[in-house]
Structure 1
Amino acid sequence: MPSLKFDTVVLGAGIVGVSVAVHLQKRGRQVALVDRKQPGNETSFGNAGLIQREGVYPYAFPRDLRTLLRYARNRSTHVRYHPDAIIKTAPFLWQYWRNSHPQKHAAIATSYSTLIEHSVDEHRSLAAAAGVSALLRQTGWIKVFRTAAVQDEETRIAERWHREYGVEYEALDAAHLQRKEPDLDRTLSGGLRYPASDCVSDPNALVTAYAKYFEALGGRFFIGDADSFREGWTVDTQTGTIAASSAVVALGPWSDRVSSRLGYRLPLAVKRGYHMHYAPRAAARLNHPVLDVENGYLLAPMARGIRLTTGAEIASCDAPKTPTQLAAVEPLARTLFPLGERLDDEAWMGRRPCTPDMMPIIGPARNHRDLWFAFGHAHHGLTLGPVTGRLIAEMMMGEETLVDPQPFRVERF
């Protein structure tokens, strides 16, 4: 097969890899984007579709004994686990728990927020360039509450985020929530709306559009297997062997398969999640993505229908599907909003790549010249894809960076 020469090969065509490829191609690099599937058809395919400007604090491990005991019974709608995965990931979970201490979590947020604050602007800029701004809905999203106690606690958190990072929020009493979302359960005590966040009507279509924009800029996409990636930065594809002078690993939950072969022992784990689409009953309408805080699921209006997404499942990356969370929350979701028939033949499952300090790995590999990492974005992959792509491109090109990249360096592990 022929050998194809490029300046950079980007492994992984999810939202992060596609964004990296776009930003490098815009800067004059000749870029090859490689994945085993078409762009946006793995983790980026199914998610809540939120670009979370309010997400300055990454999702922490619970530390109160009551919550831990509830999760330990493995019946929670928020978190489920495979027992064998708990044993395997115990060192990761221990570090995750330690980093979730309030003081450490606050210090992490100081760095993490620098990425989050640019997330919406970078998406809007890229969507405009790709001609798909209509896929971004500037409606914000809503947390809804079934009890006043939980609402008060969440409002205090929103007030702290506003005080520390300027996060906008709107407190909704029951009547105001009903005006915003007239088809929701009328027994809800109220809600919190985060107006500065955007939502996406079709995440797969968005990533596909970004990839087409990359190709319009002169970049090329190839179907290939990252397991064939070798030092010297070559990888085999259906078209031929690609050889590049630099490489970016953006394989999401499979990134450690490449990094470990190169001698890096990075603490990457996965939180799996599920979704299903439903038709709304009668003329019911959902205007915002809505999170049922007490029950740990989210409903989002999508192009295909109403998407029900679950919380986290701790399991081996490639273990068979076990959509018990989806089965558990579907009856609850039907009390929240009038869902009709299922529109998918089976539940979709995705994998969120996570680090124990809740921050992505973005930057150069410490032991290899011209090798770069961009993965580990956990729940905020869609949110942080474009800003990560810009940051990697700025570092590779020696430009002044939009944010300080030091907190995200691989050397921290």
Structure 2
Amino acid sequence: MAGSVLVLGAGMVGVSVALQLQRRGRQVVLVDRQPPGEGASFGNGGLIQREAVFPHPFPRKLSEILRIARNRSVDAVYHPTALPGIALPLLRYWWHSSPERYAQAQAGHAALIATCLDEHLALARGTPAMALLRPIGWMRLYATPEAMAAALAEAERAHRLHGVNFVALDSQALAAAEPHLLAAREGAIHWTDPLSVSDPQALTLAYAALFTEAGGSIARGDATTLERHGAGWRVTTPQGPVEAAEVVIALGAGAGAVTRRLGYAPPLFGKRGYHMHYRLRGNAVLHRPILDTQSGFLLAPMRAGVRLTTGAEFAVAEAPPTPVQLARAEPLARRLLPLEDRVEDKPWLGVRPCTPDMLPVIGRLPGQQGAWCAFGHAHQGLTLGPTTGRLLAEMMTGEAPFLPPEPYRAERFR
């Protein structure tokens, strides 16, 4: 059992951790109830977001808080029954969003983001995964001169501080870049560094194939069966128990259900999100992903069609789907782009795992020998999977970490 590792969770983060460990000589079994890429890694905007150096803080303006509190927006919706359970994490999120604390979170976040393109390309080059990574960036659209001016100032700051590249487009340049838009906008910021993924699940599956080609194993199993077994760990699968010397918990929004049984209760909270694919009318084309800031939704060209993604929905665990945001966004999206029929019968639903300080948890699980954490990436699991995988694998194998790991340590929530 020496040198063996269980990785629980087969999303982009878990697959990346498993691959990096397997390549470093560990014998790894990747365990999930579903095939790789079926969770939050399946449904997202498909962006490797090199520009996302400023995490999204809790709103500080009273007008913005009141707007969300009315519960009528496209970008944020809540179930009243969920409020008691998320009140404390959201209060901590607000606390961490004060200017001085946000500066610390931003520094830790930007350090991870700065490496995301290099780490994805290091895995994908020379493999079928490269065909899924499109160097087209994405655009954020603005409706008013004031919004465009503020966005330009923020983009210039991101470039100055973190080397992020962009092109500012006025209304005419935007219309030329995306000629099938139906509505005019004041302008757009085209973030040119990010990679657009044509099929996020396929990318996770491609990295999972690299893992198995390197000798790793994938098993179906329930992470909640994790238990101590001697000096190591054991989890139950339909084929019988699987044992290993170490375990990595990379379960996204479900991580807390496992870590709490081990004495660690991080203040995770979930943001639910939906997506639906659409055909376009006639010969209309969307050349790159676009986010309409005024309406709060993203439209992205994917293999399956144009994907419409929603913002955040706060609900109790296992609450039935309530795709009200999608219902609000679809008419607005149809006025922006010539969408035709829906591709699927029903929308996809997933949960993004968030922490109050806007940073993931990467490192040792407190109080448990041989247990490690890799979760809490919020909207950036797809972006940061390979970065997290390398960082944690280096920590576990005794290499010098290529990034300082202290900002992401689990103990900050003890």
TM-score between both structures, scaled by the size of structure 2: 0.97
In the alignment, which of 41, 46, 62 is matched to residue 44 of structure 1? 41
Distance in 2 (alpha carbons) for counterparts of 1:151 and 1:231: 55
Q: How do residues 129-140 of structure 1 correspond to structure 2 at under 5 angstroms?
A: 130-140=127-137
Query: Identity, % of aligned pairs?
Result: 50
Partner residue in 1 for 2:234 = 234
In the alignment, which of 84, 95, 99 is matched to residue 98 of structure 1? 95
Matched to 1:291, the amino acid is L
Partner residue in 2 for 1:191 = 188
For 1:213, what is the secondary structure of its paired residue? helix
Q: How do residues 9-408 of structure 1 correspond to structure 2 at under 5 angstroms?
A: 9-128=6-125, 130-232=127-229, 233-408=233-408
Distance in 2 (alpha carbons) for counterparts of 1:246 and 1:124: 28
- After superposition, the C-alpha distances for 1:304-325 in whole angstroms (9 at most, x for unaligned) are 0000000000112321101000
Distance in 2 (alpha carbons) for counterparts of 1:342 and 1:121: 35
Distance in 2 (alpha carbons) for counterparts of 1:258 and 1:239: 21
Distance in 2 (alpha carbons) for counterparts of 1:51 and 1:99: 25
- After superposition, the C-alpha distances for 1:164-189 in whole angstroms (9 at most, x for unaligned) are 21211111001111121111134211
Distance in 2 (alpha carbons) for counterparts of 1:141 and 1:236: 42
Point out the more displaced range, 198-207 or 127-136.
127-136
- After superposition, the C-alpha distances for 1:167-213 in whole angstroms (9 at most, x for unaligned) are 11111001111121111134211100110111100001110111111
Determine if contact 1:354/1:378 at 8 Å carries over to the other structure: yes
C-alpha deviation, 1:107, in angstroms: 2.1
Determine if contact 1:299/1:308 at 8 Å carries over to the other structure: yes
C-alpha deviation, 1:402, in angstroms: 1.3
C-alpha deviation, 1:5, in angstroms: 8.5
Point out the more displaced range, 31-40 or 53-62.
53-62
Distance in 2 (alpha carbons) for counterparts of 1:104 and 1:152: 26
- After superposition, the C-alpha distances for 1:263-294 in whole angstroms (9 at most, x for unaligned) are 11210110000000000111010111100011
Point out the more displaced range, 134-143 or 93-102.
93-102
C-alpha deviation, 1:6, in angstroms: 6.9
For 1:44, what is the secondary structure of its paired residue? coil
Distance in 2 (alpha carbons) for counterparts of 1:259 and 1:391: 20
Determine if contact 2:48/2:196 at 8 Å carries over to the other structure: yes
C-alpha deviation, 1:403, in angstroms: 0.5
Distance in 2 (alpha carbons) for counterparts of 1:47 and 1:97: 25
- After superposition, the C-alpha distances for 1:130-149 in whole angstroms (9 at most, x for unaligned) are 43201000000000112222
Matched to 1:256, the amino acid is G
For 1:45, what is the secondary structure of its paired residue? coil
C-alpha deviation, 1:412, in angstroms: 0.6
Determine if contact 2:183/2:335 at 8 Å carries over to the other structure: no
- After superposition, the C-alpha distances for 1:353-399 in whole angstroms (9 at most, x for unaligned) are 00000100000112111100000000101000000000010000010
Distance in 2 (alpha carbons) for counterparts of 1:378 and 1:219: 27
Distance in 1 (alpha carbons) for counterparts of 2:291 and 2:379: 14
Moved over 2 A (4+): none
- After superposition, the C-alpha distances for 1:101-146 in whole angstroms (9 at most, x for unaligned) are 2332222111111110010111111122543201000000000112
TM-score between both structures, scaled by the size of structure 1: 0.97
Determine if contact 1:42/1:350 at 8 Å carries over to the other structure: yes
Matched to 2:105, the amino acid is I
For 2:189, what is the secondary structure of its paired residue? strand
Distance in 1 (alpha carbons) for counterparts of 2:177 and 2:95: 39
Matched to 1:394, the amino acid is E
Distance in 2 (alpha carbons) for counterparts of 1:237 and 1:29: 21
Matched to 1:240, the amino acid is G
For 1:353, what is the secondary structure of its paired residue? strand
Distance in 2 (alpha carbons) for counterparts of 1:100 and 1:179: 38
Distance in 1 (alpha carbons) for counterparts of 2:302 and 2:4: 37
**Consecutive unaligned residues in structure 2, runs of 5 or more:** none
